[in-house]
Amino acid sequence: MSIYSTVAAYIWEINTDGIQDLDCMIFANLRNSLLPKFFVMGFTEGMIAGGAAGVIAETVLYPIDTIKTRLQASGPILSHFSLFFALHCIPIPKCYRLASSLKRNSMYCSILSLVAHGGGKIILEGLYSGLAGNLAGVLPASAIFVGVYEPTKQKLLKSLPENLSALAQLTAGVIGGAASSLVRVPTEVVKQRMQTGQFASAPDAVRLIVSKEGFKGLYAGYGSFLLRDLPFDAIQFCIYEQMLMGYKLLAKRDLKDAEIAIVGAFAGAITGAMTTPLDVVKTRLMVQGSANQYKGIFDCARTIAKEEGTRALLKGVGPRVLWIGVGGAIFFGVLEKTKQILAQRCPEPKM
């Protein structure tokens, strides 16, 4: 049994037989509801599978995401020390105080002194800063996204010509991303503020952000988030679906779990690299807080390019490609296996 089969089966088996019966009864009731059948079934199965896949992928890869965020949040003063600070989980404000006293030509001596000062240890607990609060948002966000994506895609595939399947997947990805953004953006804001050492806990982060910046502070960088994530969601799922279709045609059989994971990894890595500049802008806008260093998406991109060079827009591209590539393998592997288990445990009755 593959790792995806084991994980997905475990998620299901933690329920008792009675709860499984209740799950299937809920599915049956939803099938008989007044809502369109394609939407009800796609939405409910997508929510369960998407929620499980999102939580597992996020938990496994959270440390890489933390390092990526710290690299992207560092400004020009920290450019030569950002990876060191990220790995040692030194809060961004403290990074600036330390780095501002260091001379560029004494970088290696400075790093050695910092290692001596901080003990030279990579703090694993810091790499998981904000995980619990983030999972509370990832679960509903992933569930909503896949729950909206699946029925929307199926409806569009039936409505459009076969040669426009990519358009159906792109459109469904945009619609699913827009629906889930209402949950994903506040979650991302709180997560990234905690990853950069601004807050100690998710409740404190929410309370202080709202008190200082108002409720809109939880949606800081919302425009840049949509600018990054709507094309990201659409492109990633489209690449995944198209590669999956092509692979199946070549293999002339259903794909194995490992093959699905490989396809998901390629789709994630390609999309992650393509959207890194948008991710850098989104991160800077989200972590700036009430300082308002940047006036908007284009001002942020222009300021970064002017003060730090255009290469700064690719900060964190390595961790991001690694994170999303491996994340794609885990996410799509668990997603497909969970959908398969759901179909087997609660089969659709014959008409």
**pLDDT at position 235, please?**
93
Per-residue model confidence (pLDDT) at position 199: 79
Q: Which of 113-117, 220-224, 242-246, 298-302 has the least mean pLDDT?
A: 113-117
Phi, psi values for residue 284, rounded to 5°: -60, -40
Across 4-18, 59-73, 234-248, the highest mean pLDDT is recorded for: 234-248
Q: Which two tokens stand for residue 133?
A: 């609060």
Report the Cα 337 to chain-centroid distance in Å.
20
Is the predicted pLDDT of residue 261 greater than 90, yes or no? Answer: yes
Q: What is the pTM of this model?
A: 0.68
The answer on pLDDT for 205 being more than 50 is yes
Query: 154, 142, 138, 166: which is closest to 42 by C-alpha?
Result: 154
pLDDT above 60 for 62? yes
AA identity, residue 120 = G
How do the domains of the chain map onto residue ranges?
3-56+125-345
Look at domain 3-56+125-345 and name its CATH class: mainly alpha
pLDDT recorded at residue 37 = 55
Q: What is the pLDDT of residue 178?
A: 92
CA distance 130 to 38: 37
Q: Tell me what pLDDT residue 234 has.
A: 92
